[in-house]
Structure 1
């Protein structure tokens, strides 16, 4: 398929974080763009602000007639869309060019120098850091991000088309559509078992991804993963490793040892050892590409983060409110480590919304263990996303397994009043569902008092 011959691109699920980045890309490249989503959000509002037509009812009749010209229109859909979706089936049954989001990303990046970030955790932050580093080093790069960068207030960095930086998403085996020049694998913890069935199949998909790297390309792997490549890690014997870590005024200061040299006194402002690891691999890939370390050091220090990744909403002497996307037990552990490192003597209240019935079922004991670490816990009902309920899989079941005397199952309506009853100095909201919509209410409520 030649994208130059496409005039219109229609997105089914245009409000998704990855889909909206593609919509912005095609719009910036002078294509006519429109789409459907079931929910109006800040993301869809932003797209509409660009002049992109979006409707929110599942109906072919709502699509602009120009987009029904099958010779001029490409249909892009997200795997999160139900297979019975009316619009998707109309296009499939009537001879349109219909591709998944990952296939569109593969088409866009196949003729670029592509840097891809894979792993069950850390993809979005690492991709965002790497995109920022490359942009600040004046590389002609397009970076597709799985979150909204605080530096650019966007999930797309557009500074040229010769180089691409992308998240290589393991969900639905999407990353196998890519053929990167440089790639990394940050982690291979079991996840998406609704797709893979078991952890061994997930591991095999990462092995398959490692074989998609172009001839003479380079693979980076976190030290300890069962794959061959350039290794990276923190305070270990990796090819790229962070040493001499200090915290000065809330900022990490550290050295990085590479196979060739040592870079002294780099600075990074995101808390948590997991974020240090993300910064390290982004830096390593930028060095491998050829970015000068002097510029990389300045760029790393100026990186601000990704929205909903350890995002501060209140930061006063009396109260700190942080929101994070963590939705897997290992991600919750990483957030817990970061909070304890930054605020070692303060009491922490966690508000968690489980994401997916299948993930809750598959990792129930690990979730219970990770959530037991907080001083207090408020647990919301499971966010179903693309799934139907599974009998017996409930937040009440999870709550019963959590070893914490200060735990409670709450509804969203009760949330503010329950937080008021806490005497914790740190409020932490975590989860990948619609808990992010509660953040503005919590911020408004407690900013008044602080």
Structure 2
């Protein structure tokens, strides 16, 4: 195996494991309340979990932005800036978390106006929400830490943190619910404990692995800008930080709009179509877990080579990432073609649903080929902090998605929704491919950003 491929896999494989463990936190909660004897418990966890998924998804820029900027600073060997990026990201995450906690009541009320759960589900979901919202500092702080670790070419530490969170969540939730007799509040407290366990572990591992960087903390460098911390919040650095993260934030809003609309459009066509779309989207989710791992490798390695001004290594990395990406696309397409129906049958034994899924299964087979370029370019663009290109490609793809769906829905029905989604994936990658030459030229033409 070539050294470059080994580097890619050293970052990608632990990231894939981390990605796979993420949904386990929610699944564990659902499994526990599923044995409490009333469907309202499951509904409350589902509603509460969905709210937090959306909230934390929107603020995912804290991870992505810090990853690209950290890897570039590492490539320049600018260790003081490496430390400042971490402090900025975690600090801003804490500030956002404080706002979320302060506004928890109007946030919850606005969410319930949109979802409109039953009175019993609303009551339980309110309990769950007002406990778990206190985990926002841990979650958003961990976003900054995770992005920083990846930018430092270290995806093993986030993997260990994710695994630890799941173990703590299982033990704490089971103990509180079945040992202490709690209900939804026990599940919420278990989740909260797991979130802070992950954050504390992240800080502990940072001190253990990167303790030597403490000398670059503000106040540790004698005289100069960082002696009083002014360099941390320097205007130009903050302007760049917010410019990068603003574009990622807006891009995420487009992504959330498409994802939520896909679910609501399926629900509007009845329970069977909603179930079919939900099951088939699990095939996209599985593919995304793997491809995100290679995207993380793209973030870390491309950013580092841009910071080091090593264009040859950057180009080789991008080529090898696409080789791995297309290999994964072929493997997933074959796996879905020969085993996809069996996988759907594992998820449900409803013959009506699985029979209806046959009509739309071809769209699921097109997901890997349509989406592979978007995942790889996302990683490279984040590493290059070319977030404006990511926003433009996502906006163009979202426009195509909604235009195709509304234009073809009267003729194709649910097939129009799937066609729109496949085109949406393809357009993201296609637009980024067109923009990539300019992104690379600017990345290596401009002086390294300090």
Q: TM-score, normalised by structure 1?
A: 0.24
Which has the larger share of helix? 2
Higher relative contact order (CA 8 A, sep 6+): 2
Q: TM-score, normalised by structure 2?
A: 0.24
Which has the larger share of strand? 1
